Structure 1
């Protein structure tokens, strides 16, 4: 069974999800526009084998007008994503999806460039 994040929610400026399928607490990285978010916490859930809570404090530098997408990853694999919308309401939810696709394309581009450099 692979890693999977369920029950993602935002409360009090922190995104929280439940990670399942982990024998131990894996390394989790959260990216916003290619920049790593600091302060990510992963803790095993007591009494529930293979489950961990993932807590991501939403940094002030990421709160801007428009659509902001965050990618939750482990070993380069995107496990979840969350999106914030601030300022004027977007014309459609399509903008949020487009922003997420751009973030994932940027991630793929960097991985491809790293692959080419390494030979």
Structure 2
């Protein structure tokens, strides 16, 4: 059995789009937000590209609110998460968790350099 791969191509006009490859038959896709299914998901064959499918997920406007909203795209047959996308609204970048993680990485790198410098100075 060939493993299916879902690759994001874009988000446009409130619709997430991706190309799914590795399935001869129309794949069954399940999209969820906060463990509730999203309706209106379409899977259509890509012309002249056997085994590739265009996946379109409309983002319901009623799900957009302040904060981080994560959508999981799963293989309905196995329940395996193939892809996810996140939409962040109303939150300043300073408050974004990804910005915090990036800041922590930078601070960790600074501490590693200082520790290595300290080890070199005290070893010799």
C-alpha RMSD over aligned residues: 1.5
User: Does residue 82 of structure 1 match 2:85?
Assistant: yes
In 2: Cα distance, 1:32 partner to 1:94 partner: 23
Structure 2 match to 1:91: 96
Q: Which runs of 5+ in 2 are unaligned?
A: 101-124
Indicate if the aligned counterparts of 1:32 and 1:68 stay in contact, CA closer than 8 A.
Answer: yes
Q: Shift in Å at residue 94 of structure 1?
A: 6.6
- Residues 37-56 of structure 1 mapped to structure 2, 5 A cutoff: 37-56=38-57
The structure whose Rg is larger is 2
In 1: Cα distance, 2:52 partner to 2:31 partner: 18
In 2: Cα distance, 1:28 partner to 1:63 partner: 22
Q: Which runs of 5+ in 1 are unaligned?
A: 96-119
In 2: Cα distance, 1:2 partner to 1:94 partner: 33
- Residues 104-119 of structure 1 mapped to structure 2, 5 A cutoff: none
TM-score under structure 1 normalisation?
A: 0.75
Indicate if the aligned counterparts of 1:24 and 1:44 stay in contact, CA closer than 8 A.
Answer: no
Cα gap change, 1:71 to 1:15, in 2 (>3 Å): same
User: Does residue 17 of structure 1 match 2:18?
Assistant: yes
Q: Runs in 1 of length 4+ with deviation above 3 angstroms?
A: none
In 1: Cα distance, 2:70 partner to 2:8 partner: 17
TM-score under structure 2 normalisation?
A: 0.72
Q: Shift in Å at residue 91 of structure 1?
A: 3.1
Count of matched residue positions in the alignment of Structure 1 and Structure 2 = 95
In 2: Cα distance, 1:47 partner to 1:67 partner: 37
